């Protein structure tokens, strides 16, 4: 295991934070898997899974079993980890800017295209050449703020990977994942191994989340090259990425984390990154469109009482929660908007009107526009 330390641009003198990345496998390998833990710093299940992965990968490397490059970022967001207000952690948004740590990653296709001009005068670039200019473009990103620096560092570590796993969690949730339609075939075995109950697919969820910033880039670059020259390069979908939601934010147990890390190792064996006999993959869940994942807002503010268990299959119009207004003495029912799987719920039990208190994964695409929460 080789450890690299990446100092972030300090927002104030004397406050430099450092992001570690752990590197396994032969540096000369052309294939690379990238795994990062808790980009939203208050989503700790991935931090424990990362700790198990770190040990397993080190052992496997010592045995000579890591066949390709694997990069693990065991704590992707030291900025968010330190953010606390009145005793509570707040790791989803950067406090000084209000920006979500998992949005607004740089779109590097134009910068990469500029750097490929010399090659494009003669021929299409190959994948190795494209990845070289992508790394250069990520390294050249302007980092005035600590947040810019964090985003550029993470993007630079992942931009030349074939496989990207971004480990998050929801408030209260069953295991689920997000990926693109075209990568579902790749990640269906991971969903099966992890025991995911839902897989939400979208080719552009909006907002530039980390996984899509990696997986969409080569397709965008290929489109730019096709539109501006006669050349094509045959690597449009060379990077496949998924965001894995490791249940809920309090689901931090050794049993869960050990099992989840082992599922990821089994997936890497299945993909040929680690030597070993692939285990039988359990039948994965049925994937549904992200456009069919329906957030359920609280119709009024008050005390939230969930009435349907996590992971329940619910019907449109079925009671899933109630909200108590203790001053008026009223109980307002909340119904599922669609048939589907109740895969995530709000963890707070006092909620304002409009807050999303549950998510139901339906099979019919009903939403458009930006599909992720802020």
State how far the Cα of 224 lies from the Cα of 215, in Å rounded to an integer.
16
Q: Largest alpha-carbon pair distance within the chain? A: 75
State how far the Cα of 73 lies from the Cα of 35, in Å rounded to an integer.
6
H, E, C per residue of 93-143: ECCCCCCECCCCCCCCHHHHHHHCHHHHCCCCCCHHHHHHHHHHHHHCCCC
Asked if residues 364 and 312 have their Cβ atoms less than 8 Å apart, the reply is: no
Cα Rg for the chain, rounded, in angstroms? 21
Q: Which residues contact 30 (CB under 8 A, 6 or more apart)?
A: 128
In the complex, least distance from residue 220 CB atom to Zn ion, rounded to whole angstroms:
24
Stretch that binds Zn ion, among 166-174, 204-212, 251-259, 349-357 (CB under 5 A): 166-174
Q: Hey, which residues between 248 and 287 contact Zn ion (CB under 5 A)?
A: none
Which of 24, 210 has the CB closer to Zn ion?
Answer: 210
Q: Does 131 bind Zn ion (CB under 5 A)?
A: no
Tokens of 299: 């119709």
Which of 40, 176 has the CB closer to Zn ion?
Answer: 40
In the complex, least distance from residue 68 CB atom to Zn ion, rounded to whole angstroms:
27
Which of 39, 351 has the CB closer to Zn ion?
Answer: 39
Which of 168, 345 has the CB closer to Zn ion?
Answer: 168
Backbone angles phi, psi at 172, to 5 degrees: -125, 130
Stretch that binds Zn ion, among 146-154, 167-175, 265-273, 352-360 (CB under 5 A): 167-175
In the complex, least distance from residue 295 CB atom to Zn ion, rounded to whole angstroms:
15
Total residues interacting with Zn ion, rule: CB under 5 A? 3
Q: Hey, which residues between 31 and 60 contact Zn ion (CB under 5 A)?
A: 40, 43
Which of 207, 299 has the CB closer to Zn ion?
Answer: 207
In the complex, least distance from residue 368 CB atom to Zn ion, rounded to whole angstroms:
23
Asked if residues 371 and 206 have their Cβ atoms less than 8 Å apart, the reply is: yes
Which of 209, 219 has the CB closer to Zn ion?
Answer: 209
In the complex, least distance from residue 54 CB atom to Zn ion, rounded to whole angstroms:
20
Q: Hey, which residues between 168 and 187 contact Zn ion (CB under 5 A)?
A: 168
Which helix (H) or strand (E) element contains residue 79? helix 78-82
Chain residues that interact with Zn ion, rule: CB under 5 A:
40, 43, 168
């Amino acid at each position: 295991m080789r450890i690299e330390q990446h100092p972030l641009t300090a927002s104030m003198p004397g406050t430099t934070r450092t992001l570690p990345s752990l590197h396994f496998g032969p540096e000369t390998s052309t294939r690379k898997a990238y795994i990062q833990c808790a980009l939203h710093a208050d989503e700790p299940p991935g931090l424990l899974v990362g700790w198990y992965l770190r040990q397993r990968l080190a052992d496997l490397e010592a045995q000579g079993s890591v066949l390709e490059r694997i990069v693990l970022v065991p704590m992707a967001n030291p900025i968010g980890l330190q953010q606390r207000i009145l005793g509570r952690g707040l790791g989803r948004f950067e406090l000084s800017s209000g920006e979500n740590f998992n949005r607004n990653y740089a779109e590097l296709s134009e910068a990469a295209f500029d750097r490929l001009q010399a090659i494009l005068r003669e021929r299409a670039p190959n994948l190795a050449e494209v990845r070289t200019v992508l790394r250069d473009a990520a390294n050249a990103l302007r980092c005035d703020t600590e947040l810019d620096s964090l985003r550029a560092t993470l993007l630079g570590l992942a931009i030349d990977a074939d496989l990207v796993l971004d480990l998050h969690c929801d408030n209260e949730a069953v295991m689920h994942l997000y990926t693109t339609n075209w990568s579902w075939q790749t990640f269906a075995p991971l969903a099966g191994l992890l025991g995911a109950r839902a897989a939400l697919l979208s080719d552009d969820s909006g907002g530039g989340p980390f996984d899509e910033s990696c997986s969409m880039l080569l397709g965008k670059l290929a489109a730019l090259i096709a539109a501006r020259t006669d050349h094509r390069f045959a690597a449009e979908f060379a990077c496949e990425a998924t965001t894995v939601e490791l249940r809920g934010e309090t689901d931090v147990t050794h049993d869960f984390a050990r099992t989840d890390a082992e599922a990821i190792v089994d997936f890497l064996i299945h993909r040929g990154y680690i030597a070993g006999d692939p285990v039988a993959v359990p039948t994965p869940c049925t994937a549904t469109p992200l456009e069919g994942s329906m957030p359920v807002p609280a119709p009024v503010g008050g005390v939230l009482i969930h009435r349907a268990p996590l992971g329940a299959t619910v019907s449109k119009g079925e009671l899933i929660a109630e909200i108590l207004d203790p001053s008026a003495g009223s109980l307002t029912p909340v119904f599922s908007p669609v048939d589907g799987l109740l895969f995530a719920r709000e963890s707070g039990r006092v909620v304002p009107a409009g807050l999303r208190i549950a998510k139901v994964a339906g099979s019919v695409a009903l939403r458009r526009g930006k599909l992720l929460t802020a």
